[in-house]
């Protein structure tokens, strides 16, 4: 096994540009192959080191998010399943801030593109989405690239504490504005008058 890893590192060192482009392309193809983001970020840290692996993961995750945006704009019916998942998990009126989405991206079992969909709904145009996508991908890429190997070695108790802290952080960073459509407001008022 060690010999195979040494061969892999020699190939990466001798074909740095090709390996870098392949890693970025793998980030985009990852969503088709259903490979979790965490595994790719950990692999980037192991193959390229913490700093370069983090930069490649940030670029790759942002490209993946932009690719998702364009697919969503072209084929909205295909993404109806993700919309249904969002409404089941968060409700139809859920509106997350960029900070909340950033924290939720750190939780490994929350679907990456479900959060991208929430980001599309939060931002109103492509430029705001691209900027917010970059911002939300930075902590994810850095933490899992640099500390990914250590997170997998945590005890179940330590992992539970980390998840509870992330959930508390998400609650603190929530958006404190509730937007209600005109029709919804007056519809509820009519129900109260009847009852």
**In the chain, what are the domain boundaries?**
2-194
The pTM of the full predicted model, rounded to 2 decimals, is 0.70
What is the reported pLDDT for 50? 81
Residue with tokens 């190997």: 149
- Residues 10-33: pLDDT tens digits? 666 677 788 888 888 888 888 777
- DSSP letter string, 118-179: HHHHHS-SHHHHHHHHHHHHHHHHHHHHHSHHHHTT--HHHHHHHHHHHHHHHHHT------
Inter-residue contact 119 to 175 (CB < 8 Å): no
Kindly indicate the confidence band of residue 176, based on its pLDDT and cuts at 50, 70 and 90. low
Mean pLDDT of 113-123: 87
Rounded Cα gap, residues 186 and 80, in angstroms: 28
- Residues 40-65: pLDDT tens digits? 887 788 778 788 888 999 999 999 99
- Residues 73-106: pLDDT tens digits? 888 787 777 778 778 877 777 778 888 899 889 8
């Amino acid at each position: 096994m060690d010999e195979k890893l040494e061969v892999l590192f020699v190939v990466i060192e001798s074909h740095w540009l090709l390996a870098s482009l392949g890693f970025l392309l793998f980030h985009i193809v990852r969503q088709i192959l259903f490979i979790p983001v965490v595994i790719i970020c950990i692999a980037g840290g192991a193959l390229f080191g913490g700093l370069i692996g983090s930069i490649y993961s940030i670029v790759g995750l942002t490209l993946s998010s932009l690719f998702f945006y364009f697919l969503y704009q072209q084929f909205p019916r295909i993404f109806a399943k993700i919309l249904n998942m969002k409404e089941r998990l968060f409700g139809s009126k859920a509106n997350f801030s960029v900070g909340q989405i950033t924290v939720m991206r750190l939780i490994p079992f929350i679907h990456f593109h479900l959060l991208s969909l929430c980001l599309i709904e939060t931002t109103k145009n492509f430029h705001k989405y691209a900027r917010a996508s970059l911002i939300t991908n930075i902590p994810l890429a850095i933490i899992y690239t640099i500390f990914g190997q250590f997170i997998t070695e945590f005890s179940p108790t330590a992992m539970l504490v980390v998840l509870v802290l992330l959930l508390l952080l998400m609650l603190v960073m929530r958006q404190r504005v509730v937007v209600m459509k005109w029709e919804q407001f007056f519809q509820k008022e009519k129900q109260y008058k009847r009852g």
